[in-house]
Structure 1
Amino acid sequence: MNTGDLAWVLISSALVWLMTPGLALFYGGLGEKRNLLHTMFIPVLIIGIASLTWFLVGYSLAFGGNGNLIGNFKHLFLTHVSFTNSTKSLTIPDGAFALFQGMFPIITAAIITGSVIGRMKIKAMIVFIILWLITVYSPLAHMVWGGGLLAKMGAIDFAGGTVVHISSGVTGLVLALLIGHRHNDKHIPVRPSYVLIGGALLWVGWFGFNSGSALAANGTAVLALVNTWLASAVSVLTWGLAEYKTHGRVTLAGITSGGVAGLVVITPAAGFVAPWSAVIMGLLAGIIGFAGITFVKSSFGYDDTLDAFGIHGIGGAVGAILTGVFADKNIGGVAGLVNGNLSLVWKQLVAVLFTVAFAAIGTLILAKITAIIASPLRLSAIEEEKGYDAILHDLTVE
């Protein structure tokens, strides 16, 4: 075991944990006034739900056994997980690996809530998230990072483009379509300061999210952090430019969202591409992210409240495919199109399509099951008009 590697992974775990309170503030600043407290409440609640689910069964299903689709029950309650040695040929103990990986389902589940916040019943949301973490997230983590189907196929995902972002974005979109549009949209963001503070916490946490995925304090961790820094910084600029060209103005909430879009796109590629590639990916991320929450959303007419699909779903897919383009064997050890290996692009595309289908079909099935367990899925028109802050949190909005 290497104490420096262990220290970095432990620090990175704390940074990834910080992303969820950051997302709570980020979403709160973007959301409706009548659901401000509730919008921030739900991600914090998910810290408890997702953590316990990971401890009970999630880690075992994601990283136990050698199945193609899902793990086994060997590590229920984190049993047979060593806190002093590694069985995965790492320089950190299995317990540290389980801890770091356990932070990812928390932020993934929290992202989903942005699509339907304020119109999905809290009881239904809790039931759905638990079922989703067990039957969608854990199998995907196993297939990508646990030696399962997608890993065996040769698809790569450094820190969660498919497992985290595509899965959460697509799930949010499907839920939004199933539940339907808001009855009386009062969605006028009034707290850009919350967006900035939350976005900054997300940003800082993301450095641990991507760089920590090297699972060691080494050159790959440095590369991932540099790429994360560059892609997100450039995406701020291109988002701002797109916003100005479209609306004749640039907003603080907008360019902060641009930074997040860059973070999403670079996530699957962070440890595989050269810094010049990260800059190009950031350039595209700002433009595509802005288009995702404006042109794409308005063209198809879906009501994705806080744009989980526009930023995470679309951004995750773009990042995964661009990873196949820019992966450089001389930098990250995997050859992509820049090295003349077109096959990686096709493998990445298959992984994206598989993840979209798996998350969408899984969400449809789980929504039906949730409706049986915790019917109805959505608030009534009267409840929605009143807002969850008044219904649940005893806070009356003027």
Structure 2
Amino acid sequence: MPLLTGTPSALDTGDTAWLLVSCALVLLMAPGLALFYGGMVRAKSVLNMMMMTFGALAAAIIVWTVVGYSFAFGDDVGGGLLGSPLQHVGLHGLMAASSNGVSPIPVILFAVFQGLFCVITGALVSGAIADRARFGAWMAFVSVWTVVVYAPVAHWVFDASSGSHVGGWLANQVHLVDFAGGTAVEICSGASGLALALVLGRRHGFGKDPMRPHNLTLVMMGAGLLWFGWFGFNAGSALAANQKAAVIFTTTLLAGAAGTLGWLAVERYRDGHATSLGAASGMVAGLVAITPSCASLSPLGSIAMGALAGMVCAFAVGLKHRFGYDDSLDVVGVHLVGGLVGTLGIGFLATASAPTGVNGLLYGGGVGQLGRQALGCLVVMVYAFVVSGVLGLAVERLLGFRIHVDDEVSGIDLVLHAETAYDLHHLSSGRPSFHHGLTHPASQPPERAG
């Protein structure tokens, strides 16, 4: 996406209104993800899991505003590798800018929209290290990660050259097709999550003790909010209320539905049961795969893409048991694998009749685009994995990333946050608890803090 500059008179109020709504939809994905992830963990760590999402929301958007946007969308200073780090510090220069005539929307709104992409990507990573990470260490990690991992990748993938503005190398030199973030969001989060899972090691009892989701109702509510917000994520990336946005809205809807059916079909065949967790996970897998390809496929192509992603990811979540890494909430199996399916799938299923105007192999396009897609996947995956791993090791050494095993066993919520998600003690003993009602525990007398 080109850097937007210009005069306020160039604003299109309809497009601006659509992007404002889209920003709100993407923001809603954060609490949706918190519910989705929170329901998937055990009851003793649900608050910590949700706090990691809300913490990522707070930290990432601030860091993005201060320096991240400039790294991602500033004028290129390194052969397509990085934007100018000082050009838009604190969103400097964007208060009055609006448009270059390509996308007649306020630049500052575009910056916020892209910042919310960063928020969701960082929050997704936390699912790989659920139940065992120190909250302060996570906050330090996601703040630095925003600058050294996400912002450079966003520059490579999203920052298109326009006029005198020079953007990222994958978008402009390789001509990777990734409309809304199969590489920058999905593969980046999945590879980063895998690196952190290896750094922190396996949870106590992994592979031996049952670690089933504690509240599938929360999971399904969160999944529904994610699907709702995803329309802003994908269709909002059109940056206009137009035919392109309408096509993308349609492909996003269809892929989510097809992903649900694909995952459930695998479960029914393999296990004999179609589960609520499978329905929610399949929906997310279909949406992950359509994220890069939403502007490249026909409606039937989006159904095929979603169904394929649902089926492939249903098998891929079992890889952690085969290879022994503890990806707690299947960030690798759903987001890394689903991102690969969607990004590579453009090389097969893309049709020139869709907004991006590219033909894949099945539409007579040859292997060229598939090669470009594969290169983009490989580069982002390796970069995110290596840099996230190094950063995770640094945080572990300096701050201590992994909580003590005794604290993990007793309950990370109570140890790190002095709270529990469910006031079971109050229900069982009848003793008043400071978690009952709306009063913050810090305002309660000391004798009631037990």
Cα distance in 2 for residues equivalent to 1:367 and 1:301: 19
Cα distance in 2 for residues equivalent to 1:247 and 1:292: 15
After TM superposition, the score normalised by the length of structure 2 is 0.85
Cα distance in 1 for residues equivalent to 2:117 and 2:364: 31
Question: Does 2:314 correspond to 1:290?
Answer: yes
Question: Does 2:322 correspond to 1:299?
Answer: yes
Cα distance in 2 for residues equivalent to 1:69 and 1:162: 15
**Count of paired positions:** 396
CA shift, 1:84, in A, is 4.7
Corresponding residue SS for 2:353: helix
Which residue of 163, 168, 178 corresponds with 1:148? 168
Cα distance in 2 for residues equivalent to 1:158 and 1:225: 13
The superposition leaves residues 332-351 of structure 1 with CA deviations (integer Å, 9 ceiling, x where unpaired) of: 22233223232000000000
Question: Does 2:402 correspond to 1:378?
Answer: yes
CA shift, 1:297, in A, is 2.4
Question: Does 2:334 correspond to 1:334?
Answer: no
Higher-helix-fraction structure: 1
CA shift, 1:88, in A, is 7.2
Q: Residue 350 of structure 2 aligns to which amino acid in structure 1?
A: A
Q: Which moved more, 1:179-188 or 1:272-281?
A: 179-188
Matches within 5 A, 1:49-198: 49-67=59-77, 68-72=80-84, 73-87=86-100, 89-146=102-159, 147-151=167-171, 152-185=173-206, 186-198=210-222
The superposition leaves residues 174-229 of structure 1 with CA deviations (integer Å, 9 ceiling, x where unpaired) of: 11112111113452212111011100000000011000011111111111110000
CA contact (8 A) 2:72 2:154 kept: yes
Q: Which moved more, 1:118-127 or 1:84-93?
A: 84-93
Which residue of 197, 211, 235 corresponds with 1:211? 235
Aligned to 1:391: 415
CA RMSD of aligned residues (A): 1.4
After TM superposition, the score normalised by the length of structure 1 is 0.96
Corresponding residue SS for 1:14: helix
Corresponding residue SS for 2:417: coil
Cα distance in 1 for residues equivalent to 2:192 and 2:101: 31
Cα distance in 2 for residues equivalent to 1:340 and 1:323: 11
Aligned to 1:309: 332
CA contact (8 A) 1:166 1:316 kept: yes
CA contact (8 A) 2:41 2:131 kept: no
CA shift, 1:359, in A, is 0.4
Which residue of 339, 347, 363 corresponds with 1:324? 347
Cα distance in 2 for residues equivalent to 1:211 and 1:89: 17
Determine which structure has greater relative contact order: mean sequence separation of CA pairs < 8 Å that are 6+ residues apart, divided by chain length: 1
Cα distance in 2 for residues equivalent to 1:195 and 1:85: 39
Cα distance in 2 for residues equivalent to 1:286 and 1:367: 30
The superposition leaves residues 309-367 of structure 1 with CA deviations (integer Å, 9 ceiling, x where unpaired) of: 11001100111000122222222222332232320000000000001110011112212
Cα distance in 2 for residues equivalent to 1:195 and 1:362: 31
CA shift, 1:79, in A, is 0.3
- Structure with higher Rg: it is 2
Aligned to 1:41: 51
Cα distance in 2 for residues equivalent to 1:306 and 1:371: 21
CA contact (8 A) 2:396 2:402 kept: no
